Amino acid sequence: MNASAPTPDVLVVGEALVDIVHRADDSIDESPGGSPANVALALGRLGRSPRLLTSIGDDPHGRSVRAWLAASEVSVHGLPATRTSTALARLDAQGAATYEFDLEWSVDTSNVATADALHVGSIAATLEPGATAVADLLDRHHDRALVTYDPNIRPSLIDDREAVRRQVRSLIARADVIKASDEDVVWLHPGEDIADVARRWSRSGPALVVITSGASGCFAVAPGFELSVPAIAVEVVDTVGAGDTFMAALIDGLLGAGAFGVDARAAIASLEKGRLTELLHRSALAASVTVSRPGADPPLLEELMAAAGVR
């Protein structure tokens, strides 16, 4: 980050919880997580000092989450929950995770100051009673901030599939940047071509749509062009937090390109293909660091620079 450049105020909204990870070797680890919390953590490690609006209990799990976030310069806001949510993650032999959740989610956005960049996503954007407040906050930031959204679908928590699909499509149309996984697209649009879905999402409103496909890299639709960027070859320990790290690094890169506040969409529209390719490659590089070590452990700025060969 350029020390002389403006420092955007970044707000992340969503769940923070404790991951209880069952590994293929039968070992069990507990560590803080939650997709929006992971994004906030990764942004903090990249030097952005974000605010995280969430709901955490005043219990041992909640205290561990707060300490984990504070260590990466993330300030936590929101009303306390009666308990801290948990996610049971089971890893297969390749490190891929499936999840079961015990979640409590509600949030009060009435006194939240408008930010220069807002990120929402995952469970918090579709699970009531908090989802309506999240959508209202997104509308308050529309055309006033960079608004990013990651659906990060969790099927085990969804009872009404069609209602969630409608809700996700509505949020996609109202955001500036969408980052989704190929698994999200398959769940939301079964049987449809992923690139066609990305193009349709782009036409609905976002200035940038990025679909990640794990080891197959990512595909992006931007104003006037499309591009694909390969993944970074790395030995995978597990995939926990990889997509969130990619999202955070993309947000960080866009902020560095001036995409925040009222100028966010214009700045994205001005990105040339080569520059966006660089930003997506950097995001993939950040995710590769995360998958190379256990848990949601995104790189510090210095680690990402070292991985990129920058001295």
pLDDT per position as a tens digit, 259-297: 999 999 999 999 999 999 999 999 999 999 999 998 889
Query: Would 5 be classed as within a structural domain?
Result: no
Rounded mean pLDDT, 134-139? 95
Rounded mean pLDDT, 78-86? 91
Query: Would 229 be classed as within a structural domain?
Result: yes
Rounded mean pLDDT, 191-198? 98
Say which range, 31-45, 151-165, 169-183, 262-276, has the weakest mean pLDDT: 151-165
Q: Find the CATH number of the domain harbouring 96.
A: 3.40.1190.20
Say which range, 1-10, 91-100, 236-245, has the weakest mean pLDDT: 1-10
Mean pLDDT, all residues of the chain: 93
pLDDT at 99 over 90: no
* Predicted local confidence at residue 170, as pLDDT: 96
Percent share of the chain, pLDDT over 90: 78
Query: Would 137 be classed as within a structural domain?
Result: yes
- pTM, two decimals, is 0.93
**What would the pLDDT profile of 52-76 be if each residue is shown by its tens digit?**
999 999 999 999 999 999 999 999 9
Most confident of 1-5, 115-119, 154-158: 115-119
* Predicted local confidence at residue 122, as pLDDT: 94
Query: Would 126 be classed as within a structural domain?
Result: yes
* Predicted local confidence at residue 265, as pLDDT: 97
pLDDT at 310 over 80: no
Domain tally, the chain: 1
- Res. 180 pLDDT band, cuts 50 70 90: very high
Rounded mean pLDDT, 250-259? 98
* Predicted local confidence at residue 5, as pLDDT: 60
Query: Would 72 be classed as within a structural domain?
Result: yes
Cα-Cα-Cα-Cα dihedral sign, residues 189, 192, 198, 203: negative
- Res. 2 pLDDT band, cuts 50 70 90: very low
Percent share of the chain, pLDDT over 70: 97
Chain centre distance of CA 110: 23
- Candidates 245, 269, 249; CA nearest to 259 is 269
Query: Would 307 be classed as within a structural domain?
Result: no
pLDDT at 237 over 70: yes
- Candidates 309, 297, 289; CA nearest to 233 is 289
Domain that holds residue 68: 10-297
Is pLDDT larger for residue 309 or for residue 148?
Answer: 148
Which tokens hold the place of 290? 């995360």
pLDDT at 96 over 80: no
pLDDT at 87 over 60: yes
Query: Would 306 be classed as within a structural domain?
Result: no
Query: Would 21 be classed as within a structural domain?
Result: yes
Rounded mean pLDDT, 6-10? 90
